[in-house]
Amino acid sequence: MKAHLLFADQDFAWDRELPANSDDLVQDLELTTVLSVMAQGDTFLYDTAAKVVLAGLTDPEAIRYRQQVLADCLAEPAVLRQMYDTALGALLDKRKLWGYAAHYPSSILSAAISQTEALVARLRQLREIADATAGRFRSPGLTTLVSSLQADLDDEYFETVQEHLRQLRFRDGELMSARLGRDNSGIDFVLRYRRSRKGWKERVGLAPRSSYAFTIPPRDEAGGQVLSDMVNRGVNQVANALAQSADHMTSYFTMLRAELGFYLGCLNLADELAARGQPTVFPEPVASLPVRFQCTELRDISLALRIENVVGNNVTADGKPLVVVTGANSGGKSTFLRSAGLAQLMMQAGMFVTASSFRAGVCQHVFTHFIREEDANMISGRLDEELSRMSRLADDIRPHSLVLFNESFAATNEREGSEIARQVVQALLEADVRVMFVTHQYDFSSSFYREDHSRALFLRADRGAHGERDFRLLEAEPLPTSYGVDLYYRIGGWLDETASEPGRREAGLTAGDRPA
């Protein structure tokens, strides 16, 4: 049996390595915050969520398949948790039982019987859940799972399994056949199925003798060992077959727990967001081309899980493979970049996003190139480190990917940094790669605005007349200032009455103004 909750026609490759840039995505997008809420302290749920989120889908239909399953889970959370607990319980039951003694078939058989009985009891629980919830799901994934549980785990199945387990207990002894080899040793031992119990005449010795028997004396240790060896040879194949059957059932519960675990993590996340009053919506995934990106009230989910009153942004960048974000310091530029990256990852995992609406084209992969803090152990400068990191990314970037830049190539003078950024972005656009770039480099942003802004969207973090921020981005051309003087005021500075006119323009104030 298969669950098919993550894919309609294949299994999820749990043993597949994560993308090479996974650590950067987790760090730059603060994905740990989201995964921790999904896990609620459970290491298994954390690892499961990380693997699914970082291994995004690239087919809009496959994404919608997961969204439909998740919608059913959100509508019936108690059922999902009950099924997950059943799968987890089956694995815990198996761990409590003795393992297999590999050199003794009779021990293997005994352990396999015990484990199979425990696993079958859990299968019966799944069947009962399926019977109780039939007709309550709408998604193809859960509908198929419920119907397969009812069809494959019918009453006849359980009766057959119980009969086989009863026979394998050998309460009436083992019935085997064998042949004599050329040296008169026993060969070709075969365990036979005992179809019926002996009749009463045969049991009391009145029936004609159909076979001959002998009894091994209690003190005959050698004879007892020979008989034990004969039994082991006879039950060897059956013991291995039943052990494999128990392993197959264990594999099913392992797979079911993992796939249900992802959706359980989504339920945990949805509950936390609802408690914080954050909006959620299933995004609309579309094909990579033409370029599509549109959102209303899009919020940084990692920030929304830490603080209150997170501001959302409305952006329409359809047909714009390049989005350049400029404007005031601490105005919400990096927050928007994270919100876009997280929403893309969550959409392609089949999840909801924190927005009122979200539509985007699927991408082959998401890459980040964020500014890093100075490392005292670095053997080269920050610019060299940024260029080396960009070189490694270039080896993995493919057409229809999305690259998020945050203050990249700003570790040198503006002319040199802008030229590096301009050439990198131009090369990516020519390779059909979408780019979102947060920058303070006016030379870089203005050059794209002047040359051809029909294929680029320019957003600016707004600033009030007296330095206040509302953390919303507006569609506007780049300005030659990022209002860095506001930071000076924030730590207690004053504007010099004799400040030059360029200094006043940088501050956005007149010489007589004082910080609020």
CA atoms within 13 A on the CB side of 446: 11
- pLDDT at res. 452: 73
Sequence-ordered list of residues with C-beta below 8 angstroms from that of 196, at least 6 positions apart, any chain: none
Does residue 479 share a domain with residue 403?
yes
Average pLDDT, the chain: 86
Does residue 115 share a domain with residue 193?
yes
- pLDDT at res. 239: 81
The answer to the question of residue 35 being in a domain is no
Question: Is pLDDT at 489 greater than 90 in this prediction?
Answer: no
Contact 360, 345 (CB under 8 A): no
- pLDDT at res. 482: 53
The answer to the question of residue 328 being in a domain is yes
Sequence-ordered list of residues with C-beta below 8 angstroms from that of 300, at least 6 positions apart, any chain: 310, 335, 336, 338, 339, 342, 354
Residue carrying the six token digits 């015990």: 114
- Select from 230, 245, 275 the last residue of a domain: 275
DSSP H stretches of helix in 97-174: 105-133, 140-152, 155-168
Does residue 268 share a domain with residue 290?
no
Question: Is pLDDT at 503 greater than 50 in this prediction?
Answer: no
Identify the CA nearest to 314 among candidates 348, 286, 339, 342. 339
Contact 119, 87 (CB under 8 A): no
Does residue 151 share a domain with residue 184?
yes
What is the Cα–Cα distance from 130 to 33, expressed in whole angstroms?
34
Query: Where residue 325 falls among pLDDT bands split at 50, 70, 90?
Result: very high
Contact 264, 37 (CB under 8 A): no
The answer to the question of residue 460 being in a domain is yes
Mean pLDDT of 123-147: 96
The answer to the question of residue 179 being in a domain is yes
Residue carrying the six token digits 């509908």: 143
Does residue 299 share a domain with residue 259?
no
Secondary structure E strands in 355-422: 357-361, 366-370, 402-406
The pair of structure tokens assigned to 250 is: 């264990």
The answer to the question of residue 207 being in a domain is no
Lowest mean pLDDT among 44-48, 230-234, 460-464: 230-234
Q: Does residue 18 or residue 107 have the better pLDDT?
A: 18
Does residue 142 share a domain with residue 120?
yes
Mean pLDDT of 216-243: 73
Query: Where residue 412 falls among pLDDT bands split at 50, 70, 90?
Result: confident
| Backbone phi and psi for residue 285, each to the nearest 5 degrees, phi listed first | -80, 135
Question: Is pLDDT at 508 greater than 50 in this prediction?
Answer: no
Query: Distances from the Cα of 371 to the Cαs of 132, 300, 328, 416, 434, in angstroms?
Result: 53, 18, 17, 16, 19
Does residue 317 share a domain with residue 267?
no
Q: Does residue 383 or residue 203 have the better pLDDT?
A: 383
What is the Cα–Cα distance from 484 to 486, expressed in whole angstroms?
5
Number of H helices, E strands in the chain: 17, 12
What single-letter amino acid sits at 281?
V
What is the Cα–Cα distance from 332 to 31, expressed in whole angstroms?
18
- pLDDT at res. 231: 66
Mean pLDDT of 51-78: 97
Mean pLDDT of 188-203: 63
Does residue 323 share a domain with residue 234?
no
Contact 516, 467 (CB under 8 A): yes
Mean pLDDT of 254-278: 97
Does residue 77 share a domain with residue 161?
yes
The pair of structure tokens assigned to 314 is: 């409305």
Contact 306, 418 (CB under 8 A): no
Overall number of domains in the chain: 2
The residue segments making up the domain with residue 145 are: 1-16+55-197+222-275
Mean pLDDT of 55-79: 97
- Select from 240, 275, 310 the last residue of a domain: 275
Query: Where residue 501 falls among pLDDT bands split at 50, 70, 90?
Result: very low
Q: Does residue 504 or residue 70 have the better pLDDT?
A: 70
Highest-scoring range by mean pLDDT, 59-73, 173-187, 213-227: 59-73
Q: Using the CB atoms, write b or e for 61-100: b if 16+ within 10 Å.
A: ebbbbbbbbbbbbbebbebbebbbebbbbbeebbeeeeeb
The answer to the question of residue 265 being in a domain is yes
What is the Cα–Cα distance from 370 to 383, expressed in whole angstroms?
12
- Select from 245, 275, 305 the last residue of a domain: 275
Question: Is pLDDT at 510 greater than 60 in this prediction?
Answer: no
The answer to the question of residue 409 being in a domain is yes
- pLDDT at res. 514: 43
Mean pLDDT of 81-101: 86
Q: Per-residue pLDDT tens for 447-484?
A: 999 987 789 999 999 776 555 677 899 999 998 865 55
Q: How far is CA 158 from the centre of its chain?
A: 34
The answer to the question of residue 23 being in a domain is no
What is the Cα–Cα distance from 131 to 263, expressed in whole angstroms?
21
Region at 141 (left for phi over 0; alpha for psi -120 to 50; beta for the rest): alpha
Does residue 303 share a domain with residue 183?
no
Does residue 260 share a domain with residue 149?
yes
Total count of residues recorded for the chain: 516
Contact 286, 363 (CB under 8 A): no
- pLDDT at res. 466: 54
**Which CATH number characterizes residue 332's domain?**
3.40.50.300
Query: Where residue 177 falls among pLDDT bands split at 50, 70, 90?
Result: confident
Does residue 387 share a domain with residue 337?
yes
Sequence-ordered list of residues with C-beta below 8 angstroms from that of 200, at least 6 positions apart, any chain: none
